[in-house]
Amino acid sequence: MSMASAPTVASFPSLETALKHFFGYDAFRHYQRAIIEQSLKNQDVLVIMPTGGGKSLCYQLPALLRLGVTIVVSPLIALMQDQVRSLKENGIAATFLNSSLTLAEARAREKAVLSGDIKLLYLAPERLMSPSFWPLLEQLQQTVGISAFAIDEAHCVSEWGHDFRPEYRQLFQLKQQMPQIPVMALTATATERVRQDISQQLRLNDPEVFVSGFNRQNLYYEVKPKTKQTYDELLKLIKQQPGSGIIYCLSRKRVNEISFRLKQDGISALPYHAGLSAQERQENQEQFIRDNVRVIVATIAFGMGINHPHVRWVCHFHAPSTLSEYVQEIGRGGRDGKPADALTLVSEPTGWLDSEDKQRWKFFAESERKLQQEAKRLVTSLSAKGRVDEVLQRNEKAATALALLHSQGRLIWEDPFHYRLTSGRSSGCSETFDSVKEIKHYLFSRQCRWQTLLIQFGCESEAQSLRCGHCDNCKR
């Protein structure tokens, strides 16, 4: 469909009519209509909506009701492919550009975008912020037009760690270079501190913030102590539980071990972690989504944006790193609205951190220390101003260090590809250990688990009126 013949908001008597036309739904879910209305007014918006709450629709429908292309920033190839596939099945012109494409395929898709044949373009932040892509972005704005930027999984802007994506910290340059284009940032969970960080980092202009409560009555929360027979108890639990499930582990080694033992014990299970090839990860994911296997055993690499409505239980074999990570992962259970269990196994009476937990946090602390050292070394070798790509040519690990310097106020971006050092003071990045305290408090608290989570994520009024009954503490 060309831009000239594409429908706009004026083509429909109501947003509900447009919703029915494009997606087949009769009514909006909680906050969706209000979010879409603000987006159509070209307002910046920050959306905190739980897994399965309908975040994607909040930017997809406005994209179809405005002239131009909406660019969606998405962190994972599998997530892009899943969403584009779903949109195409609804007859919506969407595509992605990523490393899974051949050069010829990428060129053909770029041509379709510049011809006005595409309404939603999915990109990884690394591609969007690369110098080689920026001329195409400028050409697109001058010809077809960019209607909005949607930044999915926006909590990545605020995260530090071994899997940090430094390009997320550079996305503020979209607002700096194209201030007239509205930005919608979306994530499943974010504390008040993270929400403020997202708004500041992305330079959102007086954003309307929507926080949709994640108190899902169909989820039952339970924390159980580990024993010497933990695997046997897990196996018994799986045999008693109906339907599909996800087991999260800290390490690839533990993922492989548990998935192997489950298969030996007659449970159809597959592993999922970054040590597998991309093809094997994709095949295992598809097998799980199609219900060809009952259990997926995974590291935290699995699940972001994956739409499998029939997951009946989620088990954390080790304590999760943060409450945000935890809520996102257990939110993958019961997306069809039917009952689902969220079980976390902890080491008692020795405390939360068992040997694998300790190794993991030691690794995080060491990674953070190395990152700080890398940033210090980088400062001594940098000129007062320069090009980012020249720095990266000399040191491929410098991207994360540059992002850290920027977060500390010691470096500013003059445009998408040039930096300038400042005399700002370092604020450090010691959020890891605050996260430890938060998750430890949740796991060992005797208070209602739902109330604890709601308060932590800024939903105090909802927590005060809550009558839970669906967590282990409330059933004691």
- Tens of pLDDT, residue by residue over 313-371, are 999 998 887 787 888 888 888 888 889 999 998 875 444 455 665 666 666 667 667 76
Q: How far is CA 472 from the centre of its chain?
A: 28
DSSP tag of 302:
S
pLDDT at 159: 63
The stretch 125-143 carries a mean pLDDT of 92
Q: Mean pLDDT of all residues in the chain?
A: 84
Domains of the chain and CATH, by start: 9-211 (3.40.50.300), 219-346 (3.40.50.300)
Please, which residues have CB within 8 angstroms of residue 19's CB and are 6 or more apart in sequence? Answer: 25, 26, 27, 28, 57, 61
Whether the pLDDT of residue 414 is over 80: the answer is no
Taking a C-beta distance cutoff of 8 angstroms, is the pair 327, 189 a contact? Answer: yes
Residue carrying structure tokens 């897990």: 234
40-98 pLDDT tens trace: 999 999 999 887 778 999 999 999 999 999 999 998 887 888 889 989 998 999 999 98
Taking a C-beta distance cutoff of 8 angstroms, is the pair 234, 315 a contact? Answer: yes
Residue carrying structure tokens 């972001």: 304
Q: Minimal CA–CA distance to 313: which of 326, 298, 331, 325? A: 331
Indicate the length of the chain as a whole number. Answer: 476
Q: What residues pair up with 183 in beta bridges, in sequence order?
A: 149
pLDDT at 350: 43
Taking a C-beta distance cutoff of 8 angstroms, is the pair 459, 347 a contact? Answer: no
Residue 435: which pLDDT band, with cuts at 50, 70 and 90?
low
Residue 442: which pLDDT band, with cuts at 50, 70 and 90?
confident
Strand order in the sheet with 411-415: 385-387, 418-421, 411-415
Q: Residue 248 and residue 259: Cα distance in Å, rounded?
A: 11
Q: Residue 10 and residue 397: Cα distance in Å, rounded?
A: 49
Q: Residue 200 and residue 468: Cα distance in Å, rounded?
A: 35
pLDDT at 396: 64
pLDDT at 352: 47
For 160, counting Cβ atoms within 10 Å of its Cβ (0-12 exposed, 13-18 middle, 19+ buried), the class is buried
252-310 pLDDT tens trace: 899 999 999 999 999 999 999 888 887 898 889 889 988 899 999 998 767 665 667 88
Residue 403: which pLDDT band, with cuts at 50, 70 and 90?
confident
Whether the ω angle into residue 50 lies within 30 degrees of 0, i.e. cis, is: no
pLDDT at 428: 46
pLDDT at 4: 45
The stretch 111-133 carries a mean pLDDT of 93
Residue 30: which pLDDT band, with cuts at 50, 70 and 90?
confident
